[in-house]
Amino acid sequence: MTQPTFNLLDEPWIGAVDANGMLKEYSLRDLLVRAPHLRALHDDSPLVIAAVLRMLLALLHRVYDGPRNSREWKAIWATKDGFDMARIERYFVQWHSRFDLFDPEHPFYQTIHAAVDKQTKSVASLLPELSTGNNATLFDHTTDVSDVVLSAEEAARAVVAAQTFGLAGLCNPQLQLNFTDSTATRGMILIAEGNSIFETLVLNLIEYPAEKPILSSATDRPAWEMEDAYAPDREQPLGYLDYLTWQNRRLLLIPETNDSGRVVRSIALTPGLRLDAAFLARDPMKHYRVDEKRGHISKRFSEDRALWRDSAALLRFKSPEQQPPAVLDWLARLAEGGRPVLEDHYSLRCMALGMASDQAKIDFFRSEHVPLPPAYLKEPQLVDLLTKVLEAAENTARELWKASSTMAAVLLVPDEEGGRSANPDDVQSLRDTMGAERRYWAGLEPLFRETMQALPEQTIEAMRRWFGWLREAAWATFEEVSEGLGDTPRALKAVVRGREQLAQGLGKVLNFEA
């Protein structure tokens, strides 16, 4: 039987949305050719988008052998017509076979040595959204015994994501083999997002090679260029490109051909390279809070806290307590002095991609986008103002929390005779049922985006509007909650007490003075 082929340079497998909102899959070559005219990558899984972006960046860094400084970066950015396809084509000709998903010697992002033990698993093992092993079911009810079949393009996306977001966990209890976390597994991946795939990719082409964020040796290269990506067996990457394409799993797709074409049902899968803990805590695409005792703590997704609420922290480049993503630090350096690379009105955004996980179990995937006006990259005082904006919102939320607590306490024990008061756990439970904070935050994001955009040019007016919006949001939320309590004497008393509490609190935290 003829060995199936699926070359990622020629076959469509990467989803992208064009300027008209049309979704289509592209080959690697077509994606780079059309990059200026495509709005963004698209996939149901944020993990796939992040993993493909990291792979594309490693490819472009290698093709351009840089950019080695701001001058080279600006030259790439200035070519709005797109990438240097002649240069890219020369690279593709040289490494064409290494991009074949089913190549008999060097299958892309895989190794033929993964099949040595002859043990195979369902291809579902590559899909964290399915219920396999100890993964909880996220999006469906597929189990290990289900006959999961992936098309070649689905398998390609799954392999790239698995190498980038592999979770630690048990692999083979008989052989005492355990998987380790891959490079991007814990914490959110932060990407500077432009108005097209071309702009997004160039924005994230940080200076290379450089001492930071990862020291790159002369032997640094992406995994597909290596004769054996797992040799030497190492815990420290050869450099930034090795890191971006780190092979966390030794895996091999076992292809078949049926009426639908090339498909994959099973794989060989064992642990791959184990990354040194120091590098796991220094991913160039993550934001870290630096703690004296615990070291670098990556920013992670929270089920009940949107990323925009931490916008100011992301932009604190000079703070010793914060380590921003390398791309934001790089763009801030480009913005210093001389003619600005990005005009203040440029629609720059920060895209956060990743998952929230508890050890070897995934809780949820998430993709978030927050505005990032270029002015904030070069004017630290704007970040200070943004901090005040966000602090005012948090303080207002606390006052709403206090008012809700007061209402809950009165509802539970209307008269504190004999010194009796409501049980704190009961107060918390009833307050959570009211959902005041959740309702309050839900409506603020679009108002925050407007405020962040307006602050650089309309500082006082934007701040005054924001404080007014916070007051309106707090009272609107309070009235919505209080209406649901009914009109019994006890409920009316609780509402009166809560209203008094909120009025007093808002008077303290929303006293804006220009």
Residue 458, both tokens: 């309309």
Residues 6+ apart with CB under 8 A from 153: 6, 11, 12, 13, 25
Residue 419 three-state SS: helix
pLDDT, tens digit (0-9, with 9 covering 90-100), for 312-350: 988 888 788 888 899 998 998 888 766 778 887 888 999
| pLDDT number for residue 139 | 47
**Residue of 482, 481, 502, 500 lying closest to 490 (CA atoms):** 482
| Residue 468 pLDDT level (bands cut at 50, 70, 90) | very high
**Residue of 43, 253, 49, 250 lying closest to 148 (CA atoms):** 253
Residue 71 CB coordination number (10 Å) = 9
Any idea which of 102-111, 125-134, 442-451, 505-514 has the lowest mean pLDDT? 125-134
Segment 394-400 mean pLDDT: 96
Which whole-number Å values give the CA distances from 3 to 82, 98, 152, 252, 510, in the listed order? 35, 15, 13, 14, 69
| Residue 141 pLDDT level (bands cut at 50, 70, 90) | very low
| pLDDT number for residue 175 | 59
pLDDT, tens digit (0-9, with 9 covering 90-100), for 237-253: 999 999 999 999 999 99
Which whole-number Å values give the CA distances from 460 to 16, 448, 463, 466, 513, in the listed order? 40, 15, 5, 10, 9
For residues 102 and 363, the model is more confident at 102
| Residue 309 pLDDT level (bands cut at 50, 70, 90) | very high
Task: Answer yes or no: are the C-beta atoms of 333 and 323 closer than 8 Å.
Answer: no
**Residue of 19, 64, 17 lying closest to 206 (CA atoms):** 64
Interatomic CA distance for residues 330 and 70, integer angstroms: 9
| pLDDT number for residue 474 | 97
| pLDDT number for residue 117 | 55
| pLDDT number for residue 142 | 46
Any idea which of 118-127, 150-159, 382-391, 452-461 has the lowest mean pLDDT? 118-127
Residue 334, both tokens: 């480009």
| pLDDT number for residue 342 | 84
- At residue 288, what are phi and psi to the nearest 5 degrees? -120, 145
| pLDDT number for residue 254 | 93
pLDDT, tens digit (0-9, with 9 covering 90-100), for 172-193: 655 557 888 899 988 899 999 9
- At residue 324, what are phi and psi to the nearest 5 degrees? -75, 165
Per the prediction, the chain carries an average pLDDT of 89
| pLDDT number for residue 274 | 93
Q: Where are the domains of the chain?
A: 14-280, 381-509
For residues 120 and 35, the model is more confident at 35
Which range, 81-90, 124-133, 303-312, is most confident? 81-90
Compute the 3-state secondary structure of the chain and give helix, strand, coil in percent, each to the nearest 5: 45, 15, 40
381-509 CATH pick, 3.40.50.150, 1.10.132.100, 3.30.70.980, 2.20.25.90:
1.10.132.100
| pLDDT number for residue 345 | 81
Segment 345-362 mean pLDDT: 82
pLDDT for 145 beyond 50: no
| pLDDT number for residue 295 | 84
Segment 202-224 mean pLDDT: 93
Any idea which of 276-285, 462-471, 499-508 has the lowest mean pLDDT? 276-285
pLDDT, tens digit (0-9, with 9 covering 90-100), for 91-124: 999 999 999 999 999 999 999 887 655 578 899 9
Residue 177 three-state SS: strand
pLDDT for 500 beyond 70: yes
| pLDDT number for residue 1 | 58
Any idea which of 39-43, 204-208, 347-351, 418-422 has the lowest mean pLDDT? 418-422
